[in-house]
Structure 1
Amino acid sequence: MLRAMLRDLRAHAGRIAMTLVAIVLGVTFVVATWVLSDSTAASLTSGDTRSSVDVVARGTTPEPVLDEEDLSRLAALPSVTGATGVLAARAALVGANGKIVAGSQDRAGTGWDRTGRFVLAGGRAPTASDEVALSSSTAARAHLRVGDRATVFLVDGREVHAKVVGLFDYRTLGVETVPSVAFAQPTARSLLGTAYDRIELRGTGLVPEVRAAVGPRVEVRTGAQLATEARDDASAAAESTRESLLVFAAVALLVGMFVIANTFTMLVTQRVRQFALLRAVGATRRQVRRAVLLEAGALGFVGATVGVALGIGLGLLGMSAFAPSDEPVTYDVSPTAILIGYAVGIGVTAVAAYGSARRAAAVPPVAALRTDATPPRRSGVIRTAAGTILLAGGALTVVWIAGPDLDTTERVLCVGGGVLAWLGVLLLAPVFATAVLTPLARVLARRGGPVTRMATRNAVRDPRRTAATSSALLVGLALVCAFATLGETIVSISGAAVRDMVPEEATILRSASGQDPLGTDVLDRVRGTPGVTEVAADRYAIVPIEHGGGTSTSSISAVEPRGFTHLLTPKITAGSPDLRRGVVMDANQAAMMGVALGDDITVTFPDETRVTQRITGLINTVEGQPLIYVDVARAPTAFRDKGVTSVYALGPDPTAVRRALDRAFVTRPDVLVTNREEVIATESADFELLLSTMYAMFGAAIVIAVFGVVNTLALSVTERTRELGILRAIGASRPLIRRTIRLESVVICAYGGVLGIAVGVLFGAVMQHAMLGNPLLDIEIPTDVIAIALAGMLCVGVLSALWPARRAARTEVLTAITTD
């Protein structure tokens, strides 16, 4: 029996071609994700590392705390055979184009030493005060070679000019920033400071001695421990990448399941007599069900085989495309990735086909005597009832919770209610199809032509099939529109938050790299610029916050109280903006932490200094902006002196202030002089790039859905061969048949598209309310995305029908009307 069914499957390979494509695409996404994440982990841990270091002593805070006295004391320990202090400080290299070289500037500068961490790739080590060596990758990005002159900006704004005498590759020790600039050691001490980032020691049995010598302010780690930390960090980074991408793969597989389930439903319907004959000759229900599932498994195996091969290729290609061109790449295709691909391909196909297998097993033997036999189908009452309960329950949950100042539990429940409502819509899709398309068919029956009438009636006569086909499109489009709504709302709120906080006339100075602080010298120079009368600077950090409900992580900004109230314009919703009295906090963040005006919170700064202050003011801001503002005078000295995130300047003549600051920093490519609207535009562009990436990821699901439409129409044409033959016999032309199939496809796609857009926008409203605390319906409608989606659905409807319509139009009349 199984051989007969597999033989029938091979004989009608065209029926399952599009289903095979859906399986292949889903498996490809999963395997590519696995290969990409495994290769990322392998690349992060495959670099040239050092094993000659026995023990490392380093501070417990990000700032260097070890000095020459510590180095001498540790070098004098009996078991120590070698000790070297390693310098690390902020340095910004200027490329040949006059701009700062992309990359982190923190700890980018160091001193050349004999630890073995430098491997010369060209030239020699720096020895004189006007010489420097560059990492090979940084030199390539800067377009600098040995013999060129290089300019380096230090944390205090000093400008260093040096000759490039060498290029080096770097051997890492655990998790550390790879330096890009190395000076001679004496020069580095004069330029970068005398505090050591760490001290590397060689010897045996050093850990107890070193710990006793340095005390609790310094942590002592072995080289093996640091190597393990590096591997763990690489694995965690790869796992994070994998989890993020698997979300998109899961969406693609979910859409694929709709396509597979719909295909097997139609295949079972078309083979009722075959199943009845099998039952008549002695096959049991279990045997028929198992045969259909094995048929699905065979299809899944073929799709998984192709998908695994394509996934490996796509993963390796993606690793090559996204990895830095100047960094070595290690490719890793693990057996796990291959096994996961096969498990997903076979498992998803079998699960999607299970309902059809049950219906095939329920076909009675007597159905073999009928020419119009169909498999038994449930009435759909249970599905409709479940969908109604989920939709009503989810919607009521969202409406009940909706309100300002949601706590964490309420936010989770709000999103959960949105998900339940979404599932309810999917279950009720046949009901919606009937409710929407039936009146449309009646209207078109009176006003439309024969093509329009037949197309709409074909779409509505089997609402389950229409719903199953359009649901795949619904899921993909709903996700795109949901994140588009969320993104547009975030961009709008973020821009409004900046406009509320910063006056339009202010000139803003930021780091040109966009990720490193400016030196405090920038603040001093701004204050001394003619025409500047008000200056404010913020120092941004993400730190742990202790409160009555526990500990949370939040963003803070340390600001001068006068600048906060006289230059910046915070919109206080409760309390006072005076930072001398206490901290000012975002109301939404306060609700999440379970704190209110008058409560105390404890801020732990990066150097582990703990400062407890009272909440004396509440404002409305948004994620991405500082959520807590503190008086800079209450921050530890190390935090104040490390640098500033942004500087704001204002004067009687804003235009003159901008020109004066442009002139003051014309020779400082590390400083970006800008204004409020330019800052908003830059932040919006960065966020929209992220959204575009997400749209591309969800695009795989939409592509699968398109193949599902093609497959459904093709199988529908096969199923309606007799009907099409009769239409041809009574005078329907081939162009009319083609137009009918095309319009039917457009109706199905338009229905799925409109429903998907509606669900997506509403779910986006729920997400932004839960994440941002914004009023539920106070959203930005992504009109451009919606317009593109609608136009795309119409195009998809037309293109999806090209092959099925052509096939339907070529139906031979005599052959068709004699078909059962």
Structure 2
Amino acid sequence: MQLAVQLEAGIVGFVGATIGLVLGAALAVLLRAATAAVGVSLPEGGLVFAPRTIIVAYAVGIVVTAVAAFVPARKAATVPPIAAMRETFVLPARSLRSRGIAGGALALIGAALLVFGLAAATGKGAAAVVGVGAGLAFLGVATLSPLLARPVTRAIGSPLPALFGATGRLGRENAMRNPRRSASTASALMIGLALVSAFSVLGQSIKKSVTETVSNSLGADFYLTSTSFAQGFSADVARSLRGKPDIELVTGLRSDTVKINDKKKSVTAGDPAALPTLLALKTAAGDLRALGRGSILIDADTAKEQKLSVGQAVPVVFPDGPTTLRLVGTFDKSQVAGQYLISLDEFNQRFPTSTLDFFVLVKTEKNADLAQVRQEIDATVKPHPNVEVRDQSEFIRQQEKQVDQLLGFVYVLLALAVVIALFGIVNTLALSVIERTREIGLLRAVGMNRRQLRRMVRLEAVVIAVFGAVLGVAVGSFLGWALTIALKEQGINTFAYPTATIIAVVIVGGLLGVLAAIFPARRAAKMDILRAIATT
């Protein structure tokens, strides 16, 4: 019997993989259009359908289906032959105690790893530890979901009796009746919406961090960047702006790689007179304005880690050979400046072929007319079409737009997971309706009309879907917070919660419940009363 069920699962997986390949190719075309709609441009080219795609699709489809059928196949094999001949035989329900113990253990281990990873947020592999901990915590909550299903669905459905009377009460009770089924129905939706919530929290935190970084770590009024991030632009731009009316400070920024303590490090170079102000550097020790040929500035944390103090020689290996630079000052950690700063003169000597700026910062005089200065800057960069000029607000919006584009691409992909969850709810509700055929017939016999029956099934679906959405939002918000803390060293130093987005996610969960219930509700309403009652 077990072998027969496994073979059936393999055949279903093969057919599903074939259909999935065809639909996947069509979906790839739609995804290109969807990503373009959210502002993400993909490389031009035709649809690539490699042989590897076919192999992976069939391997995943067959293996996943076979693995998913393993437990049901074992259950089917344990049914006694004489018991199976009775139409009313039902497999005894297992206690949720072992599931609760396993889920609790996973959640506790995940929480412990999270705490350890976050406590060592500056250490190597901390983000990986946080990721593993978050994954285990997520699995723990998913395992505990049947235990949470009844109390949570009762709370979610509590307004239904007052709003819809007996129909609302029945819808709520049906959602509470079988915690395992409610949890399994909501689990796919929970996973999809948890990922959406996590990325929403992370994206909002990134945008907030960008705003605060620009406001607190940059002292410029105008920012000049290349239209192509991979390419710089002529240093003549910065030189042409120096000495212009109403412009106080100008510096171009360049960056390249050196070796310090046998490790590759990135050094940033700029005008020593302008760097402290335009990068909003705060002096920790020494004199930041003493930067010049043969000297270097290091952020205070890095200097402490390497046991360096002001006045010491720092061995640095440039492409043209090793040398030593004198440490003339340390500064508080800056998300923009990096760890090491040298002067443009030093940079030009050490990297003679690297002559392009990747960034130019401009600060105006105190009472300067910003609009007039902007016109002057635009006129100066006109011979350089690959240079873009932005003021501070425009620069912030541009950085936020990049984050939104990335999130838009992620949301498009996660929408697929939500669609899959929708099909899962439809299938489970349809099976539930079939299992309750006699019950539905009796409800019709005692006076429930078709409209009330459809409403009952819809309300049950909404309660289950909102349960999945609430659980997903709770888990996703926690994961988003953990990721934000873990990525602090990468510049995400502010936690921001997207309340409006999270509320929208819960509402979308409820709407998905309404959509998922359309087919099962219509099927239930069309049942013949007498045949339904006669079903055993």
Does TM, normalized by the shorter one, top 0.5? yes
- Given candidates 366, 380, 384, the residue that maps to 1:652 is 366
661-670 or 480-489, larger mean C-alpha shift: 661-670
Q: Per the alignment, in what secondary structure is the counterpart of residue 673 of structure 1?
A: strand
Query: Which residue is equivalent to 2:52?
Result: 336
| Partner Cα separation in structure 2 for residue 793 and residue 809 of structure 1 | 24
% identical equivalent positions: 35
| Partner Cα separation in structure 2 for residue 628 and residue 401 of structure 1 | 23
Matched, 1:628 2:339: yes
Query: Which residue is equivalent to 2:222?
Result: 507
Equivalent position amino acid for 2:8 in 1:
E
| Partner Cα separation in structure 2 for residue 524 and residue 440 of structure 1 | 65
| Partner Cα separation in structure 2 for residue 389 and residue 775 of structure 1 | 33
| Partner Cα separation in structure 2 for residue 657 and residue 441 of structure 1 | 61
Map 1:183-222 onto structure 2 (within 5 A).
none
Equivalent position amino acid for 1:564 in 2:
L
Q: Deviation digits for residues 499-558 of structure 1, max 9, x if unmatched?
A: 112236x222222444422211111101132232322221134x36544xx635x55421
| Partner Cα separation in structure 2 for residue 817 and residue 436 of structure 1 | 32
- Given candidates 275, 294, 306, the residue that maps to 2:7 is 294
| Partner Cα separation in structure 2 for residue 776 and residue 626 of structure 1 | 15
Query: Which residue is equivalent to 1:750?
Result: 466
Query: Which residue is equivalent to 1:584?
Result: 298
| Partner Cα separation in structure 2 for residue 586 and residue 767 of structure 1 | 26
Query: Which residue is equivalent to 1:527?
Result: 242
Residue 766 of structure 1: how far off its partner (Å):
0.9
Q: Is the alpha carbon distance of 1:611 and 1:352 closer, same or farther for their aligned partners in structure 2, counting shifts above 3 Å? A: farther
- Given candidates 489, 492, 497, the residue that maps to 2:208 is 492
Contact conserved, 1:459 with 1:744, CA < 8 A, in 2? Answer: yes
Query: Which residue is equivalent to 1:706?
Result: 422
Query: Which residue is equivalent to 1:417?
Result: 133
- Given candidates 546, 549, 570, the residue that maps to 2:281 is 570
Q: Is the alpha carbon distance of 1:338 and 1:415 closer, same or farther for their aligned partners in structure 2, counting shifts above 3 Å? A: closer
Equivalent position amino acid for 1:521 in 2:
D
| Partner Cα separation in structure 1 for residue 451 and residue 120 of structure 2 | 58
Query: Which residue is equivalent to 2:108?
Result: 392
Name structure 1 gaps, 5 residues minimum.
1-287
Query: Which residue is equivalent to 1:211?
Result: none
Equivalent position amino acid for 1:430 in 2:
P
Contact conserved, 1:579 with 1:630, CA < 8 A, in 2? Answer: no
- Given candidates 351, 365, 375, the residue that maps to 1:639 is 351
List 4+ stretches of structure 1 deviating above 6 A: 316-323, 573-576, 599-602, 774-777
| Partner Cα separation in structure 2 for residue 734 and residue 600 of structure 1 | 86
Equivalent position amino acid for 1:529 in 2:
K
Residue 759 of structure 1: how far off its partner (Å):
0.8
What is the TM-score of this pair, normalised by structure 1?
0.58
Residue 370 of structure 1: how far off its partner (Å):
3.9
Map 1:32-71 onto structure 2 (within 5 A).
none
Residue 668 of structure 1: how far off its partner (Å):
3.7
Q: Is the alpha carbon distance of 1:754 and 1:370 closer, same or farther for their aligned partners in structure 2, counting shifts above 3 Å? A: same
Residue 721 of structure 1: how far off its partner (Å):
0.4
Map 1:245-644 onto structure 2 (within 5 A).
288-312=1-25, 333-368=49-84, 370-403=86-119, 406-439=122-155, 449-503=165-219, 506-541=221-256, 543=257, 545-547=259-261, 551=263, 555-571=266-282, 577=288, 580=291, 582-585=296-299, 587=301, 590=302, 595=306, 598=309, 607=319, 616-622=329-335, 625-632=336-343, 633-637=345-349, 639=351, 642-644=355-357
Q: Per the alignment, in what secondary structure is the counterpart of residue 420 of structure 1?
A: helix
- Given candidates 797, 804, 809, the residue that maps to 2:520 is 804
Q: Is the alpha carbon distance of 1:442 and 1:338 closer, same or farther for their aligned partners in structure 2, counting shifts above 3 Å? A: closer
Equivalent position amino acid for 1:524 in 2:
R
Q: Per the alignment, in what secondary structure is the counterpart of residue 69 of structure 2?
A: helix
Q: Is the alpha carbon distance of 1:716 and 1:780 closer, same or farther for their aligned partners in structure 2, counting shifts above 3 Å? A: same
Contact conserved, 2:315 with 2:324, CA < 8 A, in 1? Answer: yes
Query: Which residue is equivalent to 2:432?
Result: 716
Contact conserved, 1:768 with 1:774, CA < 8 A, in 2? Answer: no
Q: Per the alignment, in what secondary structure is the counterpart of residue 404 of structure 2?
A: helix
| Partner Cα separation in structure 2 for residue 758 and residue 349 of structure 1 | 29
Q: Per the alignment, in what secondary structure is the counterpart of residue 233 of structure 2?
A: coil
Contact conserved, 1:393 with 1:417, CA < 8 A, in 2? Answer: yes
| Partner Cα separation in structure 2 for residue 775 and residue 660 of structure 1 | 33
Residue 301 of structure 1: how far off its partner (Å):
0.9
Question: How many matched pairs?
Answer: 519
| Partner Cα separation in structure 1 for residue 91 and residue 285 of structure 2 | 66
Matched, 1:731 2:442: no
Residue 403 of structure 1: how far off its partner (Å):
4.0
Q: Is the alpha carbon distance of 1:774 and 1:628 closer, same or farther for their aligned partners in structure 2, counting shifts above 3 Å? A: closer
| Partner Cα separation in structure 1 for residue 240 and residue 504 of structure 2 | 49
| Partner Cα separation in structure 2 for residue 652 and residue 586 of structure 1 | 30
Residue 805 of structure 1: how far off its partner (Å):
0.5
Contact conserved, 2:298 with 2:329, CA < 8 A, in 1? Answer: yes
Residue 381 of structure 1: how far off its partner (Å):
2.5
| Partner Cα separation in structure 2 for residue 611 and residue 314 of structure 1 | 57
Name structure 2 gaps, 5 residues minimum.
none
709-718 or 378-387, larger mean C-alpha shift: 378-387
Q: Per the alignment, in what secondary structure is the counterpart of residue 781 of structure 1?
A: coil
| Partner Cα separation in structure 1 for residue 307 and residue 167 of structure 2 | 65
Contact conserved, 1:574 with 1:619, CA < 8 A, in 2? Answer: no
Q: Is the alpha carbon distance of 1:711 and 1:391 closer, same or farther for their aligned partners in structure 2, counting shifts above 3 Å? A: same
Contact conserved, 2:205 with 2:492, CA < 8 A, in 1? Answer: no
Q: Deviation digits for residues 121-152 of structure 1, max 9, x if unmatched?
A: xxxxxxxxxxxxxxxxxxxxxxxxxxxxxxxx
| Partner Cα separation in structure 2 for residue 610 and residue 366 of structure 1 | 86
Query: Which residue is equivalent to 1:59?
Result: none
| Partner Cα separation in structure 1 for residue 181 and residue 313 of structure 2 | 59
Ranked by relative contact order (alpha carbons within 8 Å, sequence separation 6 or more), the top structure is 2
| Partner Cα separation in structure 2 for residue 747 and residue 621 of structure 1 | 48
Residue 299 of structure 1: how far off its partner (Å):
0.8
Q: Is the alpha carbon distance of 1:616 and 1:349 closer, same or farther for their aligned partners in structure 2, counting shifts above 3 Å? A: farther
Map 1:765-776 onto structure 2 (within 5 A).
765-773=481-489
Contact conserved, 1:575 with 1:597, CA < 8 A, in 2? Answer: no
Q: Deviation digits for residues 51-84 of structure 1, max 9, x if unmatched?
A: xxxxxxxxxxxxxxxxxxxxxxxxxxxxxxxxxx
Contact conserved, 1:555 with 1:626, CA < 8 A, in 2? Answer: no
Q: Is the alpha carbon distance of 1:401 and 1:563 closer, same or farther for their aligned partners in structure 2, counting shifts above 3 Å? A: same
Contact conserved, 1:741 with 1:805, CA < 8 A, in 2? Answer: yes
Contact conserved, 1:601 with 1:615, CA < 8 A, in 2? Answer: no
Map 1:80-159 onto structure 2 (within 5 A).
none
Q: Per the alignment, in what secondary structure is the counterpart of residue 176 of structure 2?
A: helix
Q: Deviation digits for residues 176-233 of structure 1, max 9, x if unmatched?
A: xxxxxxxxxxxxxxxxxxxxxxxxxxxxxxxxxxxxxxxxxxxxxxxxxxxxxxxxxx
| Partner Cα separation in structure 2 for residue 303 and residue 514 of structure 1 | 43
C-alpha root-mean-square deviation of aligned residues, in Å?
A: 3.2
| Partner Cα separation in structure 1 for residue 431 and residue 338 of structure 2 | 56
Q: Deviation digits for residues 592-646 of structure 1, max 9, x if unmatched?
A: x9656649876665x4655655595353444xx4522412243242637612122
Q: Deviation digits for residues 450-503 of structure 1, max 9, x if unmatched?
A: 112111111111111111111101111111111121121112112211211223
Residue 350 of structure 1: how far off its partner (Å):
0.9
Q: Per the alignment, in what secondary structure is the counterpart of residue 706 of structure 1?
A: helix
